[in-house]
Chain A
């Protein structure tokens, strides 16, 4: 699939604007008040926008540079590794739900609020999918040596 440079730039610009805007709206909706808190949110949003543009540009360059075999490895690894990782770790989410998160709260020694717990859940999902990706990706290439 060929993606034109104009489409790429438009997509990156759109993501760089839309994602932080949504981020700010969510924070505003969450009752973010005070100049300091708003300034902090703006800094975080700006950093996030930068991260979206830089990581997006790197990912697109990488995708253009690799050949079709490497692309197939990436697709298989994200599909299989990502979905299996979510399925395998689902019991942990169920267990946390059934125990009202007591295990997680104990692990954090009572620190953190719902926002921290949600962010940890997001991070855990990313790490689980990343681990699943790496396993399937390595297996894919080892099988084709």
Chain B
């Protein structure tokens, strides 16, 4: 699943470690999600959406639509 996390993170000047700290996950987890190698659960996706103040579908694209 593609996502815009890297862009949104860069807009705020955050490192992966910064984002990991905001989400209470590890930096490795942020990297796995950001590179599309791990699809987060709905609760984590909502936490991302709240943190970036964006709807979930503006952050994640499943590529099917």
Contacts and interface: CB of A to CB of B under 8 A. Distances in A.
Interface in B18-34: 24-26, 28-29, 31-33
B32 A69 contact: yes
B24 A145 contact: no
Nearest to B23: A67
B25 A68 contact: yes
Interface in B33-51: 33, 35, 37-38, 40-41, 44
Contact of A67 (B29, B31, B37): B29
Interface residues of B, number: 14
Given A67-B24, A67-B26, A69-B26, A144 B32 contact: yes
Contact of A70 (B24, B29, B35, B41): B29
A3 interface: no
Interface residues of A, number: 10
Contacts of B28: 69, 141, 144-145
Nearest to A68: B41
Interface string A101-145: 000000000000000000000000000000000000000010111
Contacts of A69: 25-26, 28-29, 32-33, 38, 40
Given A67-B25, A69-B33, A70-B29, 10 more contacts: A67-B24, A68-B41, A69-B26, A69-B32, A69-B38, A70-B26, A144-B35, A144-B38, A145-B31, A145-B32
8 contacts: A67-B24, A67-B25, A68-B25, A68-B41, A143-B37, A144-B28, A144-B38, A145-B28
